[in-house]
Amino acid sequence: MSDGYVCPECGLDYDTISPSDAVVAVRSYPRRFREVTALDGAADRDRLLRTRPAPETWSALEYVCHVNDVFGILAEAIRRMTVEDHPTLGFGDPDQLAIDARYAEQDPDEALDRLGAAAEGLADAIAKVGGDDWKRTGAFPWGDRDILAMTRNAVHEGKHHLRDVELGLQKVRGEG
């Protein structure tokens, strides 16, 4: 994403995210995803978390697993970008990863625990970046990005997919 990007769906404005805000936001996502997926202790919570609101839309559980994986990928990318000169960084097809990792079959609470660890690892990687390192770049499949852009993308991934989970669960519960 370039400077000035505002997500048309979730409204996140990349330019408003400072590195210190990003650390706080990333660390907040595990708690926020847990709150949304608690479903007020619903007896059919497991089924609700695994149900897709539409065939082409991931379930809440699949989104949790996706954010967990993206946070891990971004943490590793940021670490590499701080020590390597313009590394080439892969970012596989998320739909294929969802199939390969069997997102829909995972235990929801274990997935949320892994999200906590992944968020902490990402927040630590972001917090260790300083000075001119924010401008260091890596080559991604969609083009070159600097560490600041990828940090802002991490915040976007969490916010956007938390919104996806909220909206999806509303539909699955017949509320939306």
- The 3-class secondary structure across 32-93, one letter per residue, is HHHHHHHHHHCCCHHHHHHCCCECCECCHHHHHHHHHHHHHHHHHHHHHHHHCCCCECCCCC
The pLDDT value given to residue 3: 67
Select from 139, 165, 21 the least CA-distant residue to 84: 139
In the block, residue with structure tokens 């505002």: 6
Domain ranges of the chain: 19-172
Homologous superfamily of domain range 19-172: dinb family like domain (1.20.120.450)
Spatial distance between the Cα atoms of 35 and 6, rounded to a whole number of angstroms: 26
End-to-end CA distance of the chain: give it in Å, rounded.
Answer: 30
134-143 exposure pattern, b = at least 16 Cβ within 10 A, e = fewer: bebbbebeee
Cα 140 to chain center, whole Å? 17
What pTM was computed for the model? Answer: 0.95
The pLDDT value given to residue 78: 98
Spatial distance between the Cα atoms of 106 and 62, rounded to a whole number of angstroms: 9
Spatial distance between the Cα atoms of 75 and 138, rounded to a whole number of angstroms: 13
- Does residue 145 contact residue 134 with C-beta atoms inside 8 Å? no
Select from 122, 112, 175 the least CA-distant residue to 152: 122
- How do the pLDDT tens digits run along the chain, 176 residues long? 456 899 999 999 999 999 999 999 999 999 999 999 999 889 999 999 999 999 999 999 999 999 999 999 999 999 999 999 999 998 889 999 999 999 999 999 999 999 999 999 999 999 999 999 999 999 999 999 999 999 999 999 999 999 999 999 999 999 97
The pLDDT value given to residue 2: 53
The pLDDT value given to residue 15: 95
